[in-house]
Structure 1
Amino acid sequence: MPERDSSIRAVERAITLLRALNQMPVSTLDGLHQLTLLPKPTLIRLLRTFEELGLVARGGRPGEYRLLEGVNALNSGYHHVPRVVEIAAPLVRALTEEIKWPIAVGMLDVDALVVRYSTIPYSPLSLLHSSINMRLSLVSRALGRAYLAFCAPEEQAMLLEVVRQSHHPEDRLAQDREAVQTMIAQTRERGYALRDTTVRPVSGTIAVPVMAKEFVAASIGLTWFSSALTVEKVVERYLGQLQDVSRRISEQL
């Protein structure tokens, strides 16, 4: 049993490191240590193994690492893509190619919105290397708020009850019933959701729901640099296009 447990821990550490490497174009040993909380000797051993397997290469400076194309082979057997993502992908990609800002498609996963598709690879204006599989709070993130505000009252109440059990700092708003209801009412009145300004102030996200008849199937959100645009400018320039893409996705569901 101890030998088996040790093997499982080794696999868990390898997966944790791969996920951390996937967040940035180039990672440093110190940065990986902070993200994963793994000991540096463990990280070095894993990185050497990844190098031997053709998954990772050293960067231009000592202590830097980057993923190689070989990592794509790890998901080549995964073919299940939700219908909403199949429909949304070409539409949001076309919009990003026009306006340059990255767009994400999020779908509900128990107590959070999970990014299932992102146009970051097609955007020159992204702070992240990848956001795929990122879990976003239902009460503080724009994608989550867009889903929560427009879903059916019964589902909304159930989701809030689940999120209230969360210990994640970004879910604290769920504990304040009056504040969360105010946020939901404002979001519904505007027709779009905004990210809590205290979460990653360097950027902002605006999101709208994607409806499948009377149900929310997903949400799509556009992210921009806070230093480049105000919320008002984003609403003026891009909200109509984002809503149009949402409508076109809904029509095909």
Structure 2
Amino acid sequence: MPSFDPVIALSRGLEILRILNEERRSTVGSLHKASGLNKATIVRMLETLVHEGYVLHDAAQGFYAPTGRCLLLSQGYDQHLWIGSLAEPIMRDFRKEIGWPSDIAVFDRDAMVVAQTTRESGSMLFSRRPGFRFPLLGTSMGRAYLAFCAEDEQARIIARLAAMPGPSTELARQPKKLAKLIADIRERGYALMDDAYSRDIFDGKVWAMGVPVEANGQVFASINVMMLHGAVSVEDGVRLYLARLKATAARIAEALTENHRATLWVPGAADE
């Protein structure tokens, strides 16, 4: 338990900065929609962030954008990098085997962070680089991680997401619907990207299947394979690639546990 109540103004400022980094270019209106904060509060937060050099304001076009100074806030975080380096040769083999790209991601408090990808530059409509942060509840990797992580960690994640306003966390405030989704994922052994997320991010042209990277009951990450709806149906993709995706996840888990047992950090092992 924390010793003091959280500083609400700081929490709000960090939330605005997080959304700015996701949207790349934001307006007061888009930040209001994503955060649920009133516009007067958002303007105060933005002016403070501009003053501190983390955000720039293009008055002529009416948008706000993060500056390079934001990179200073992530210099101490490198967990995804060494997991990505171990996974990269295994994922490269998988890409050669099936022809479709995949990502591996680690959990980070309320989102997933890409550790490595086999997407080629400009491919699949959208290029994710290591370090890219994306939501749990709409994505195959986020759903796979949530469904297969330990029950106590799962409960903490859901409670945290439920307290965060916005459409990306709405499912966390629908416990019966979310519980059924988790049960279905665990039963079939894989998660699928939410259709609404695919429409918002990929214009509905892409779907993804994700599985956990786990060993001895511990989930270290999750991995996906991404395909075009026009080329491979969900049914055919599961039939053709699920077993190979799980085998790739198992190879990565073995590399993590056997080769780097002394330094392996499990995302849910330490309470915040």
Q: For 1:61-109, what per-residue CA distance to the aligned partner results, in whole angstroms no more than 9, with x for missing partners?
A: xxxxxxxxxxxxxx9xx97655432221111122113322211111011
Q: Report the AA paired with residue 110 of structure 1.
A: R
Contact 1:211 1:218 in 2 (8 A): yes
TM-score (norm 2): 0.63
SS in 2 for 1:126: helix
Give the corresponding residue for 2:245: 242
* Cα RMSD, aligned residues only: 3.4
TM-score (norm 1): 0.68
Give the corresponding residue for 1:151: 149
Contact 1:106 1:219 in 2 (8 A): yes
Contact 1:203 1:224 in 2 (8 A): yes
Q: For 1:167-212, what per-residue CA distance to the aligned partner results, in whole angstroms no more than 9, with x for missing partners?
A: 2312111110000000000000010010111112221110000013
C-alpha displacement at 1:129, in angstroms?
A: 2.8
* Whole-Å separation in 1 of the counterparts to 2:247 and 2:138: 24
Give the corresponding residue for 2:5: none
Question: Is 1:105 aligned to residue 104 of structure 2?
Answer: yes
Equivalent residue for 1:39, pick from 33, 49, 58: 58
| Unpaired stretches in structure 2, ≥5 consecutive residues | 1-16, 31-54, 69-73, 199-203, 257-272
Give the corresponding residue for 1:192: 190
Report matched runs for 1:228-239 at 5 Å. Answer: 228-239=231-242
Give the corresponding residue for 2:45: none
* Whole-Å separation in 2 of the counterparts to 1:146 and 1:173: 15
Structure 1 stretch displaced more, 80-89 or 179-188: 80-89
* Whole-Å separation in 1 of the counterparts to 2:159 and 2:244: 33
Contact 2:80 2:114 in 1 (8 A): no
Q: Report the AA paired with residue 167 of structure 2.
A: P
Identity of aligned residues (%): 32
Question: Is 1:160 aligned to residue 158 of structure 2?
Answer: yes
* Whole-Å separation in 1 of the counterparts to 2:194 and 2:80: 29
Give the corresponding residue for 1:71: none
SS in 1 for 2:124: coil
Change over 3 Å in CA distance of 1:37–1:169 after alignment to 2: farther
* Whole-Å separation in 2 of the counterparts to 1:199 and 1:81: 23
Q: Report the AA paired with residue 135 of structure 2.
A: S
Change over 3 Å in CA distance of 1:168–1:101 after alignment to 2: farther
Structure 1 stretches (4+) deviating beyond 6 angstroms?
Answer: 32-37
SS in 2 for 1:162: helix
| Unpaired stretches in structure 1, ≥5 consecutive residues | 1-12, 21-31, 51-74
